[in-house]
């Protein structure tokens, strides 16, 4: 798997467009890169979340993690230290800033996250749009409990944690009558479930919704899932930033796929 990722990363470096937008001919994508990808994230947002991460990295409690998706590549047992989960499984600060910027731009009213873990990514999503609700879904009750504690201690009041298998919880979003502005799919690294979750979210989405999929180059399975998803009939623009893939359903834009340095 490490060799696969190395080859994918080399391919990404060689073929991706410049991080400042040079050479991108789509006005929509150029504006996205220059105004959102490169936006300076509020330092208070970063400080608030990273203080929680620092505390978690010092937390030596062992918890039993119920893996409903594929098991972590770094953590080989279900009995894990909170510190190890924070160090190896939580979204890095670089991509936390990215999620924060995307939430600020597109996360109006409702953000859906699939895969809470300890809550680092949910806090980055919630901190930049306090008037939106972040509904984050976690399959493991114990991990969800740690995340809830983090949200309370950090003062987040716009995050709702839903616990259970994604397949059981996702259909319920169709009944609330609110279209998500942003969806972040994480927490499962198998091809067929990821495609299924995307299809369910695509049905709930409108032309203003943005879907982000984490770890698209995590494995051959995930790369195959991404290749299929980005060709979905509703997708007008897909962007590969190596770790994450971003999907837009905009009308009036010719279907195109981009690799952009981030």
Give residue 22's pLDDT: 58
Between CA 133 and CA 130 the distance in angstroms is: 8
Burial class (CB in 10 A: 0-12, 13-18, 19+), 76: exposed
pLDDT above 70 as % of the chain: 93
- Top CATH class of 2-41+91-259 equals alpha beta
Whether 218 has a pLDDT exceeding 50, the answer reads yes
d(CA 37, CA 18): 12
What is the chain's mean pLDDT, rounded?
91
What is the DSSP annotation of the chain? -HHHHHHHHHHHHHHPBPTT-TT---HHHHHHIIIIITPPPPHHHHHHHHHHHHHHHT---EEE---SSSPPSS--SSEEEHHHHHHHTSPPHHHHHHHHHHHHHH-SSEEEEE--TTSHHHHHHHHT-TTSEEEEEES-HHHHHHHHHHHHHHT--SEEEEES-HHHHGGGGGGS----SEEEE-S---HHHHHHHHHHHHHH--TT-EEEEE-TTSSHHHHHHHHHHTT-TT-SEEEE-SSEEEEE--TTS--EEEEB--
Arithmetic mean of pLDDT, 42-55: 97
Residue predicted with more confidence, 19 or 17: 17
Per-residue pLDDT, averaged over 229-236, amounts to 96
pLDDT tens string 106-117? 999 999 999 999
Residue ranges covered by each domain of the chain? 2-41+91-259
Give the closest residue to 5 by CA, choosing from 243, 258, 207, 239: 243
The tokens describing 119, both together, are: 């809550």
State the pLDDT confidence band at 31, using cuts at 50, 70 and 90: very high
Please tell me the predicted confidence (pLDDT) of residue 72.
46
Q: What is the mean pLDDT of residues 54-80?
A: 79
CA distance 105 to 126: 12
What average pLDDT does the segment 133-151 reach? 97
Give Cα separations from 138 to 19, 111, 148, 158, 163 (angstroms).
33, 14, 11, 16, 5
């Amino acid at each position: 798997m490490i060799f696969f990722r190395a080859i994918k990363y080399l391919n990404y470096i060689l073929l991706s467009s410049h991080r400042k937008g040079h050479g991108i001919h789509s006005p929509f994508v150029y504006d996205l890169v220059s105004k959102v990808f490169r936006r300076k994230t509020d330092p208070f947002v970063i400080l608030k979340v990273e203080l929680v991460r620092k505390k978690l990295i010092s937390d030596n409690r062992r918890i039993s993690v119920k893996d409903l998706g594929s098991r972590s590549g770094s953590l080989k047992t279900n009995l894990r230290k909170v510190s190890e989960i924070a160090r190896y499984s939580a979204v890095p600060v670089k991509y936390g800033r990215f999620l924060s910027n995307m939430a600020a731009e597109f996360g109006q009213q409702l953000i859906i996250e699939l895969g809470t873990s300890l809550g680092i990514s949910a806090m980055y999503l919630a901190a930049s749009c306090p008037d939106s609700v972040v509904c984050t879904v976690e399959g493991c009750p114990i991990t969800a409990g740690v995340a809830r504690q983090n949200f309370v201690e950090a003062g987040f009041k716009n995050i709702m944690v839903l616990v259970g298998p994604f397949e059981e919880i996702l259909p319920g979003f169709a009944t609330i009558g609110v279209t998500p502005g942003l969806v972040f799919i994480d927490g499962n690294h198998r091809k067929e479930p990821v495609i299924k979750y995307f299809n369910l979210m695509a049905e709930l989405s409108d032309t203003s919704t943005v879907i982000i999929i984490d770890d698209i180059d995590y494995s051959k399975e995930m790369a195959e899932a991404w290749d299929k998803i980005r060709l979905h009939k509703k997708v007008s623009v897909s962007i590969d930033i190596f770790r994450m893939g971003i999907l837009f359903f905009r009308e009036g834009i010719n279907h195109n796929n981009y690799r952009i340095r981030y």
